[in-house]
Amino acid sequence: MLGLSGFSEQSEDTEKEGAVKEIGINQLVPFQNHPFKLYQGARLDDMVRSVKELGVLSPLIVRTISGRFGTCEILAGHNRWNAGREAGLNKVPVVVMDGLSEEEAMLIVTETNLIQRSFSDLCHSERACVLAKHYEALKDSVK
């Protein structure tokens, strides 16, 4: 039997890193070197419509920005964030991942986007840029 002490321990666990929580949409800023274009046109319109109907179903991955209290940098979920803003949301679900090196952050940005998109959706220059950044981050993370 958990009792009240077990309940409070569970509540504390939900505040730990990796837990999904909601954060103000205006507290989020795009990754400083985000190499991918945001959705436009019908694709963005469809996503905004979905967010209005269902909300943001998958949490964004973010990290806190040192020296900017309460502000987080988006590592994964730029299009969900953008659609949420367009849909008029005040908050979105996030998972905070702190303590990442710049290389680890770049790997999260590139990996999640490459999984989410078809590589053929990118023009040749975008492919080259993304692959170069991904390779550089991989190389630096092994050092």
- Which tokens is 102 given? 């710049």
Band (pLDDT 50/70/90 cuts) for residue 13 is very low
Average the pLDDT over 50-67 and give the result.
94
* Domains (range + CATH), the chain: 19-142 (3.90.1530.10)
Band (pLDDT 50/70/90 cuts) for residue 122 is low
- pTM higher than the cut 0.85: no
Band (pLDDT 50/70/90 cuts) for residue 111 is confident
d(CA 33, CA 42): 25
Average the pLDDT over 72-81 and give the result.
96
Q: Angle at which helices 102-116 and 124-142 pack, to 10 degrees? A: 140
Band (pLDDT 50/70/90 cuts) for residue 117 is low
